[in-house]
Amino acid sequence: MTKKILFVCHGNICRSPMAEFITKKIVKDLGKEDEYEIASAATTEDAIIGGVGHDIDVRSQRVMNEHGIPFNHRQARKMVKSDYAKYDYIVGMDEENFFDMNHISAGDPERKEYKLLSFTGSMMDVDDPWYTGDFEAAYQDIYRGCEALINKIEKSGKPKSNYAVTGLYFYPAGVSEKAAQVKPSARGEVEITSLNDMYLQDDNLGVQLLGRGYAWLDTGTMQSLVDASNYVKMIEERQGVSVSAPEEIAYVHGWIDKDQLLEAAKHYGKSPYGKHLKSVAEGKVRY
């Protein structure tokens, strides 16, 4: 089954064409170019004059040439509502793109829309090089995001287990020395996975399974952030508890005393959070 990806940016002349051709190169190198349909589009008509779209910005062309990314000359086009039905992944570069995509698709009813760097676990935007002038930085961010996207797609159909690594790590003393030994990856990034692999090779890597009662919430998109907020709100209202109150945690573990907790509660005034901390200090919350 062909996997269809549409990359989107403001004008479809800088970032989204780079994402399109970088991803085409990645899947070709994997020997899977026949399994993908990859294209790009704009959220506006700023680069479309008289119905004719501009070609890829020459600075984007230059940086792709420098990195050996083949590309075709093409005309910018605007994303339309029918694209939503056609593509499996619709991937924007920044928050503004995401908002505009959402408007075109009438609210992303099938949850197909993403920000590119969300696939790397980041909420950051790919800055528009049209304004920053830094096309190399844009290329590096886009490559990182596209590589993570293809890794996600390729792994989704054949996971090695039912478990996922949440990205929460605790390191022992000496980690700074090990981190200093990490060499940049092929794409020039210093990867935390390389650091973890050092501990694995030393037979000093442990994994803590999060069992029943735990929930892992990925908040890489605006919609998933709303979902996480609603989930936490439901737990707090149904169970009458506060999820992750730092002052409460510190008090329970003996890191602050009752007077300090009451002082913190006073700081928050009559807010629900302040009232919760006061209840903890008064022993009204049972564990």
pLDDT at 157: 63
Q: Which of 9, 83, 125, 146 is catalytic?
A: 9
Residues near 185 by Cβ (< 8 Å), separated by ≥ 6? 191, 194
Token duo for residue 107: 């609210």
Residue 166: is its pLDDT beyond 90? no
What is the per-residue pLDDT across 223-279, written as a single tens digit (0 to 9) for each?
Answer: 778 888 998 899 888 887 888 899 999 999 999 999 999 999 999 999 989 999 999
Which one of the listed residues 128, 141, 144, 146 is annotated catalytic?
A: 128
Task: Please say whether the beta carbons of 92 and 8 come within 8 A.
Answer: yes
Q: Which two tokens stand for residue 34?
A: 């026949």
pLDDT at res. 160: 61
pLDDT score recorded for residue 236? 86
pTM equals 0.60
Residue 68 has pLDDT above 60, yes or no: yes
Q: What is the pLDDT averaged over residues 72-94?
A: 96
Q: Is 9 a catalytic residue?
A: yes
Closest C-alpha among 262, 287, 256, 267 to residue 277 = 262
Phi (first) and psi of residue 267, to 5 degrees: -60, -35
Give yes or no for a contact between 192 and 171, defined as CB atoms under 8 angstroms apart: no
Q: Is 257 a catalytic residue?
A: no
Which of 6-10, 105-109, 113-117, 163-167 is the least confident region? 163-167
Which one is catalytic: 14, 15, 94, 146? 15
Give yes or no: 15 in active site.
yes
Q: Is the dihedral of CA 70, 74, 80, 82 positive or negative?
A: negative
Average confidence (pLDDT) over 202-227: 82
pLDDT for residue 286: 79
Query: Closest Cα to residue 115, out of 7, 229, 1?
Result: 7
Reply yes or no on whether the pLDDT at 221 is more than 80.
no
**154 — pLDDT class (breaks 50, 70, 90):** confident
pLDDT of residue 123: 78
Give the Cβ contact number of residue 83 at 10 Å. Answer: 20
